Amino acid sequence: MSQPWPRTLWIVRHGQSAGNVARDAAEASGLAMIDIAERDIDVPLSPLGREQSVALGHWFGELPPDRRPEVVLTSPYVRARETTRLLMESAGLDPRKVRVRIDERLREKEFGILDRLTVLGIREKYPELSAQRRHVGKFYFRPPGGESWCDVILRLRSVLEMMTREHCGQRVLVVAHQVIVNCMRYLIECLEEHEVLDLDRQADVPNCGVTSYEHDPSTDSLVLDLANFVAPLREAGAPVTVEPDALAAPKP
């Protein structure tokens, strides 16, 4: 039975956020807590994140009209919605012609009681959870009140099903978060736990980095075209940043 995939699928991580900057400052100072007042959902882009979003939008705008996004799916988090708005404005994508959908299933992984803690903070406040996370691994570890990667993957399965049902043959842009990018790759490329974690260990997903797929009619599958593509940022002179997501503890 054929699989009605989108014609093109881009998956983009949001631009650098104020949370990324606050996390870096907390880590550099050896603090246990990331100093940021907003809820994770409300954390905005940093000035650099806005610059990155505009630069990436120019790249999309330079594509031929028949190669540009027709549908945009975005996380409801402010940093993702701001990235989407700035990208579309600088690309010249008319929201009256390009369908924009805010989808809560694309939200950031939920960290539960570990929210806003650095690695040091987790070790100090919840040493047993820190040890359990090291033993179980991030793919299966679920902090109290939070999610594992498996939980994220479960909600993303329905996103992919929706794409095949409603956006078959269309060009779809997804704007979300680092864990979403990696978990989408896990699903689309039929990876195993060790393979997706290898990707995660190799490097953080760059802010406004592009991972894309093209539909191959001969195999009726999505084929990886670009992975963490940041050339549009470099060409525009916008610095490339690869910080872990805003309130997520970095890799131990």
- Tell whether 79 is in a known binding site: yes
Tell which residue, 97, 67, 73, 19, has the closest CA to residue 171: 67
Rounded CA separation 212/229 (Å): 9
For 138, other C-beta atoms within 10 Å of its C-beta total 17
- Residue (of 14, 7, 13) closest to 44 by Cα position: 14
- The DSSP code for 106 is G
Burial 117-134 (b: 16+ CB within 10 A, else e): bbebbbbeebeebbeebe
Checking DSSP bridges between strand 8-13 and strand 99-102, what pairing results, if any? unpaired
Cα–Cα distance for residue pair 145/221, rounded to 1 Å: 36
Cβ–Cβ under 8 Å, residues 74 and 95: no
Binding residues, as ranges, are: 79
Binding residues for substrate, as ranges, are: 79
